[in-house]
């Protein structure tokens, strides 16, 4: 059993009178694909935004332990620092690419902080120090590597906004990976993808986990994706955790089925299953 990478303790987020996330605790282990599932409005994205620093949680602790031993209290960090220092990358439910910039530029922007240092915060870059040239070549190499991984290398010089939907999703993941994360948070990576694209997405996510020692945290609605690739699942409903466990445990948990189908429908479904069997 590998150690916990991300530990969420007692996380709550309140918007006025609405308690969107209520005392949520869970942990994601290193090298795992951890999924957060739940019906619409369960607070999945809110929890995500707290972890990635887009919201400041009302209460609770979020701790990230790097493999090298450093740890970060994410609830106290400024949004962009979480990506910069704690190395958590994320994608968005409604894709947020730099539509007017090329694929290559998108992936270079993701390596901003490293390139800024290499260019001596612009002062060296403007006079053309050789170190920056080298760093940029490396950055391009990395971008090319990820473009190959997501199968978009032929379109490297096209604007990101011209890509079809599925390709945009893959590019967003490639861009997140270019920040060299230890944990990548994916907000519905398979939304809007057809069956074949969804299959490719699963393969890509597995590849990221296996080959790059990156742990994944994902929100997903598509149960076929969740059940197939997750190592561990956390189920939310009305901001509370109602269940957690392996896909097998979740699939058979009556509380989860109830949350998804509703109590009455559950009985109907059971009756129908009994009738057809």
Partner 1 sequence: MAPQSAQFPLPAMLKDAFVAALVALALAAPILGLRTVSVPAGAQAIGGQGLILQQRWDVVAIAVALVFVGRLLLNVWWRRRIAAPAPGPSFASRIGSVLTGKVPYFAFAMVAAAVLMPTMPFADRYIVDLGILVLTYVMLGWGLNIVVGLAGLLDLGYVAFYAVGAYSFALLAIHFDFSFWVALPLAGLLAAFWGILLGFPVLRLRGDYLAIVTLAFGEMVRIVLLNWYQFTGGPNGLSNIPRPSLLGLQFSPNDEGSFHAFFGLEYDPMHRIVFLYYVIFGLALLTNWVTLRLRRLPVGRAWEALREDEIACRSLGINVRNTKLTAFAIGAMFGGVAGCFFATRQGFISPESFVFIESAMILAIVVLGGLGSQLGVAIAATVMIGVFEVFREAQEFRLLAYGGAMVLIMVWRPRGLIAERKPSIALGGERRAIGASMAGEGRG
If the CB atoms of residues 89 and 257 are measured against partner 1, the closer one turns out to be 89
Beta-bridge mates of residue 186: 218
Instruction: Give every strand in the sheet of 232-237, ordered side by side.
Output: 88-90, 183-187, 215-219, 33-37, 232-237, 240-245
Q: Which residue has the tokens 């990820």?
A: 146
The correct pick among 31, 41, 159, 247 for binding partner 1 (CB under 8 A) is: 159
Task: List the one residue out of 165, 152, 30, 27 whose CA is nearest residue 102.
Answer: 152
Reduce the DSSP state of residue 33 to 3 states and report it. strand
Q: Is 130 one of the binding residues for partner 1 (CB under 8 A)?
A: no
Could you please report the per-residue DSSP string of 9-22?
EEEEEEETTEEEEE
Q: Which of 36, 108, 186, 225 is the binder for partner 1 (CB under 8 A)?
A: 108
Q: Is 231 in the site for partner 1 (CB under 8 A)?
A: no
126 binds partner 1 (CB under 8 A): yes
CB of 110 to partner 1, least distance (A): 5
Q: Counting contacts by CB under 8 A, is residue 119 touching partner 1?
A: yes
Pick the piece of the chain touching partner 1 (CB under 8 A) from 19-27, 39-47, 101-109, 224-232.
101-109
DSSP 166-218: HHHHHHHHHHHHTT--SEEEEESTTTT--HHHHHHHHHHHHHHHHHH--EEEE
Question: Which part of the chain contacts partner 1 (CB under 8 A), choosing from 103-111, 208-216, 219-227, 269-277?
Answer: 103-111
Q: Name the one residue in this structure whose structure tokens are 């002062």.
A: 123
Residues making contact with partner 1 (CB under 8 A) = 52-54, 79-85, 89-90, 92, 96-102, 104-105, 108-113, 115-116, 119, 121-122, 125-126, 132, 140, 144, 156-157, 159, 161-162, 175-176, 179
């Amino acid at each position: 059993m590998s150690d916990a990478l991300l530990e969420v303790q007692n996380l709550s987020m309140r918007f006025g009178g609405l308690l969107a996330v209520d005392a949520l605790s869970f942990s994601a282990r290193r090298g795992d694909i951890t999924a957060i599932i739940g019906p619409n409005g369960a607070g999945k994205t809110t929890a995500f935004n707290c972890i990635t620093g887009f919201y400041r949680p009302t209460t609770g602790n979020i701790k990230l332990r790097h493999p090298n031993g450093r740890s970060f209290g994410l609830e106290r960090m400024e949004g962009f620092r979480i990506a910069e220092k704690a190395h958590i990358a994320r994608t968005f439910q409604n894709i947020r690419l730099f539509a007017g910039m090329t694929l290559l530029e998108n992936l270079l922007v993701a390596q901003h902080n490293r390139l800024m240092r290499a260019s001596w915060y612009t002062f060296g870059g403007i006079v053309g120090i050789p170190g920056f040239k080298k760093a940029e070549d490396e950055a391009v190499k990395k971008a090319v590597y990820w473009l190959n991984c997501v199968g978009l290398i032929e379109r490297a010089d096209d604007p990101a906004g011209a890509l079809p939907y599925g390709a945009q999703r893959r590019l967003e993941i490639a861009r997140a990976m270019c920040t060299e994360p230890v944990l990548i948070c994916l907000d519905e990576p398979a939304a809007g993808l057809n069956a074949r694209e969804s299959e490719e997405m699963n393969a890509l996510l597995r590849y990221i986990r296996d080959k790059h020692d990156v742990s994944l945290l994902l929100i997903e609605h598509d149960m076929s994706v969740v059940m197939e690739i997750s190592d561990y699942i956390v189920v939310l409903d009305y901001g509370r955790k109602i269940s957690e466990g392996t896909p097998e445990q979740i699939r058979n948990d009556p509380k989860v089925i109830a949350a998804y189908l509703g109590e009455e429908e559950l009985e109907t479904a059971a009756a129908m299953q009994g009738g057809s069997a």
